[in-house]
């Protein structure tokens, strides 16, 4: 019986390995977070402020994400950049956090939860990094 032809386990591994790698790749790039563009505000001639409404499903609350992005590019390019893991400078539960944009300065007032905030947000404009001052007032409610 030792010389009998049979199916070897290493062949099974060779057949299942590509399928396992494909499933691992799809799982790693799966994100339930959906973002819709809520508002676009010009800050300066080089930078726009984009506000998105994000939801991770029916059992989670909405969050509002604030991004700076190159003003020469359109909203479609901005939404495509979100798939490249562009990080917002602020994430909050307050839908009315934006007070005004005046003279290249962003004024925010958060009433609610502030999940993330970067006090000196910046974005790439052409070959340089452009930053915008932000003034924030936050209260728990």
In the chain, how many domains are there? Answer: 1
Residue scoring higher pLDDT (25 or 73): 73
Residue 26 domain-assigned (yes or no): no
Q: At 5, is the pLDDT very low, low, confident or very high (cuts 50, 70, 90)?
A: low
Instruction: Provide the b/e sequence for 86-95 (b: ≥16 CB within 10 Å).
Output: eebbbbbbbe
Q: 50 near 69, Cβ under 8 Å?
A: yes
Please give the pLDDT value at position 46.
93
Please give the pLDDT value at position 115.
92
Question: Domain range for residue 53?
Answer: 34-139
User: 32-85 pLDDT, tens per residue?
Assistant: 678 899 999 999 999 999 999 998 777 778 899 999 999 999 999 999 888 877
Helix, strand, coil fractions of the chain, as percent rounded to 5 = 20, 40, 35
Residue 10 domain-assigned (yes or no): no
Residue 22 domain-assigned (yes or no): no
Model confidence at 105: pLDDT above 90 = yes
DSSP character for 92?
A: E
Strands, sheet with 134-139, edge to edge from the N-terminal-most edge strand: 98-102, 105-111, 134-139
Q: 117, 116, 119, 113: which is closest to 141 by C-alpha? A: 113
**pTM of the prediction?**
0.75
Residue 84 domain-assigned (yes or no): yes
CB atoms within 10 A of CB 84: 6
């Amino acid at each position: 019986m030792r010389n009998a032809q049979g199916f070897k386990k290493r062949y099974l591994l060779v057949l299942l390995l590509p399928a396992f790698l494909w499933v691992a790749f799809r799982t790693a790039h799966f994100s339930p977070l959906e973002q819709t563009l809520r508002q676009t505000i010009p800050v300066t001639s080089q930078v726009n402020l984009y506000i998105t409404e994000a939801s991770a499903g029916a059992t989670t609350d909405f969050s509002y994400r604030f991004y700076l992005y190159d003003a020469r590019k359109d909203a479609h390019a901005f939404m495509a950049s979100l798939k490249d893991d562009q990080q917002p400078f602020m994430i909050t539960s307050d839908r009315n956090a934006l007070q005004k944009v005046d003279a290249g300065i962003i004024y925010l007032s958060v009433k609610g939860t502030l999940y993330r905030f970067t006090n000196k947000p910046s974005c790439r404009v052409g070959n340089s990094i452009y930053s915008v001052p932000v003034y924030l007032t936050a209260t728990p409610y």
